[in-house]
Structure 1
Amino acid sequence: MNLLQKGIQAMKEQKLDEAAKYLTEAIDKHPEEPLAYINFGNLLLKMNEFDRAERFFEKAVKLDETAATAYYGLGSVFYEKGMFSKAQGFFETAHQKGLQSGDVFFMIGMCLYRQEQPKLALPYLQRAAELEPEDVDARFQYGLALAQIGQVDLAHDVFKKVLELKEDHSDAHYNLGVVCLYHDDPQKALAHFERALEIQPDHILAGHGKGKVEEMLKEEDKKDNR
């Protein structure tokens, strides 16, 4: 393996100091190679050093304006900074430059969702889920976007699929509980809220939902006993 490959491998193994050493050597040896800067930027992202990461991705773009993954990296920097509109622009540029992975569709969708535009986010999140059918996060966020625009039955099916992929997904259970309440099925809703709390005892929303349903069921029992 060359220095760049050694750096990427070390990063995959979470050996960040070792990765930094190899990537620094790769940049010193081949200062005109954009991939070394891109991967060093990715390493800095992992270390939450966003300003430094931005500089490395910008250097890569200067060396190669067609480097789609450098634009994706810049999108990731601004997404982490909470600058979702700017991040969206970079992710869209990455897509225009040829990046067709589920990740880029997912991130464009998430930028739109974070800007409170779930209807616009929906096709991107749907596409991400289609391209990466085992990606739990993409499918879950797709379900949330559906729920946000009132497509409750479709959201229900998506959350069920999330649980097929990851049975202990507390947020999927919580959202299924909400859907069950929407369909006037408090017993099923309670079961989902309780399961969410088994998985994540500090799930505040599930705790609130459980309390609400229990109060509802108590009121129904009082009416039945009159």
Structure 2
Amino acid sequence: MRPEFIDAYLNYGELLMKMGRRKEASTLYNKALVYDKRNADLYYNLGVVFLELKDAKQAMSHFDLALSIHPKHQLALYNSALLIQESAQQELYGEGLRRLDLLIELDPKEPRNYFSAALLATDSQQFVLAERYFIQCLEADPSFKGALFNLALLLTNSLQRPSDAIPYLNRNIQLYPDHVKSYLLLGDIAINHEKDLQLAEQCFSKVKSIEPSNIQGQHNLCIVYVEKGELDLAESCLAAIMAAAPTEQYVQQHLAIVRQRLADKRRPT
């Protein structure tokens, strides 16, 4: 069949997919394969159909078929690598990274390829490699929110270099001033590693203003008050959380500790 006829099948199939008519699209692609069994795009598009139908096994099978015909099919490389990451099958992580490395070679300016490789390297506990990919992602796109935050998280938790995470969190907050997770992580670094209670208070107060229902942020703000010796403020802070979330046992425990310390402080000597 002439290529333009196959293109017509592909275009109509994509239209059906946009309309949510996945089974019709699948039938159409399979019909086209009768005429052209060596068309990588048809196998890839069938993979997308199965992906939307939540059939990861069939999706992966069709992405692999596309790659067997066209080993540098960028969309098949990318989506199959994502499926490998989501599968949590560690024995496949190496193949996923190989596919992403090939993508990076084919399109070195695309930041999402580095980002996906960084996440997969993190999952496979290759933390130094993950750091390199995150940095390369940020070289391609300095404002990539996910890379800024996840690199900071990696530096803090896995590489045990929390101080190195601070510039990335500050950059993320500068670009995305409502990014709650960045404030929470920066506040955690401030209180536990930098011993900067003023910065920690600023971060957790910001979380409270952005997301008043965020229990973690409110609780951490209360802990800052405890660390500063402001026990009355800590008590009222914890009591407010208890009123909003009475089932949080760790809040109950901390409130009891603060009240005991207040009682001890007020007891005549």
Q: TM-score band, normalised by the shorter chain? A: 0.7 to 0.9
Give the Cα separation in 2 of the matches to 1:151 and 1:167: 23
Give the Cα separation in 2 of the matches to 1:202 and 1:78: 36
Q: What amino acid maps onto 1:36 in structure 2?
A: A
Picking from 117, 120, 126, the partner of 2:101 is 126
Picking from 17, 27, 30, the partner of 1:55 is 27
Q: Percent identity?
A: 25
Pairing of 1:134-173 with structure 2 (within 5 A): 134-173=109-148
- The answer to whether the 8 Å contact 2:78/2:99 transfers is yes
Deviations 1:43-74 (A, max 9, x none): 33445543333232222223322222111001
- The answer to whether the 8 Å contact 1:68/1:99 transfers is no
Give the Cα separation in 2 of the matches to 1:168 and 1:46: 30
Structure with higher Rg: it is 2
Give the Cα separation in 1 of the matches to 2:138 and 2:74: 20
Q: Residue 170 of structure 2 aligns with which residue? A: 194
What SS does the aligned partner of 1:33 have?
Answer: helix
Q: Residue 179 of structure 1 aligns with which residue? A: 154
Pairing of 1:25-174 with structure 2 (within 5 A): 33-98=5-70, 100-117=72-89, 119=93, 120-174=95-149
CA drift of 1:99 comes to 5.0
- The answer to whether the 8 Å contact 1:75/1:86 transfers is yes
Change (3 A) 1:69 1:155: same
- The answer to whether the 8 Å contact 2:127/2:159 transfers is no
CA drift of 1:130 comes to 1.8
What SS does the aligned partner of 1:65 have?
Answer: coil
The alignment's C-alpha RMSD in Å is 2.6
Give the unaligned 5+ runs of structure 1.
Answer: 1-29
Higher-RCO chain (CA-CA 8 Å, sequence separation at least 6) = 1
Give the Cα separation in 2 of the matches to 1:218 and 1:169: 26
Change (3 A) 1:117 1:126: farther
Pairing of 1:214-225 with structure 2 (within 5 A): 214-217=190-193, 219=195
Deviations 1:81-134 (A, max 9, x none): 332221100011111223522322222211111111352422222222222212
Change (3 A) 1:85 1:146: same
Give the Cα separation in 2 of the matches to 1:197 and 1:51: 44
- The answer to whether the 8 Å contact 1:129/1:142 transfers is no
Please report the TM-score for the alignment, with normalisation by the length of structure 1.
0.73
Q: What amino acid maps onto 1:211 in structure 2?
A: G
Please report the TM-score for the alignment, with normalisation by the length of structure 2.
0.63
Q: What amino acid maps onto 1:41 in structure 2?
A: G
Change (3 A) 1:218 1:138: closer
CA drift of 1:75 comes to 0.8
Q: What amino acid maps onto 1:184 in structure 2?
A: Q
Give the unaligned 5+ runs of structure 2.
Answer: 198-223, 225-269
